[in-house]
Amino acid sequence: MGSTDAGSEQSANPSQSICVGCGLCCDGTLLSHLAVSDESDLGMPLRAMGVSLLFAADPPVFELPCPAVETGVCTIHHLHRPHACSLYECALSRSVIAGDVDADTARAIITTTLATRRRVGEGGAGPEELESLLDTHFRGSI
């Protein structure tokens, strides 16, 4: 989601460029749900992909992984996305914006995290190793 988007946009803003190819906040790794205000906020592109809202929550949410994320990139970025997608910033993204972490370091952290997730999936690492990286770099506050 990035400083501007769940996992996926590129511009002159360094905090945005680190999101390209990450997508950890879109694919269910970092977050389990995203809140929206209503169906129109969810938008047609996601509805067409079969995403529906869970109205038991207040505000309503939709479940992640989002079907629009592919290899860490939001495939509907040029179309309508929920407002939350354009607002979300993980701790790493905020650190880059604040100038506390440079973009190359942030990308290295993302690469390590993605590799760890892959190893967890293959049984070569425990889930606690991934959770530790997520807690330290993505969920922490600056």
Instruction: Return the axis-axis angle of helices 103-122 and 91-98, rounded to nearest 10°.
Output: 170
Residue whose tokens read 């910033």: 89
Contact string (CB under 6 A) for ligand SF4, positions 70-99, x = contact:
----x-x----xx--x---xx-xx------
Q: Candidates 15-23, 53-61, 97-105, 116-124 — which segment interacts with ligand SF4 by CB under 6 A?
A: 15-23
CA distance linking residue 85 with residue 113, whole number of Å: 21
Residue 106 CB coordination number (10 Å): 23
Closest CA to 114 of 30, 17, 10: 30
Closest CA to 49 of 74, 22, 67: 67
Q: Candidates 26-34, 53-61, 116-124, 125-133 — which segment interacts with ligand SF4 by CB under 6 A?
A: 26-34
Does 133 participate in binding ligand SF4 (rule CB under 6 A)? no
Q: Which of 14, 24, 114, 117 binds ligand SF4 (CB under 6 A)?
A: 24
Length in residues, the chain: 142
Of 80 and 119, nearer to ligand SF4 (C-beta) is: 80
Q: Can you give the binding site for ligand SF4, defined by CB under 6 A?
A: 1-2, 5-8, 18-19, 22-26, 30, 34, 46, 66, 68-69, 74, 76, 81-82, 85, 89-90, 92-93, 138
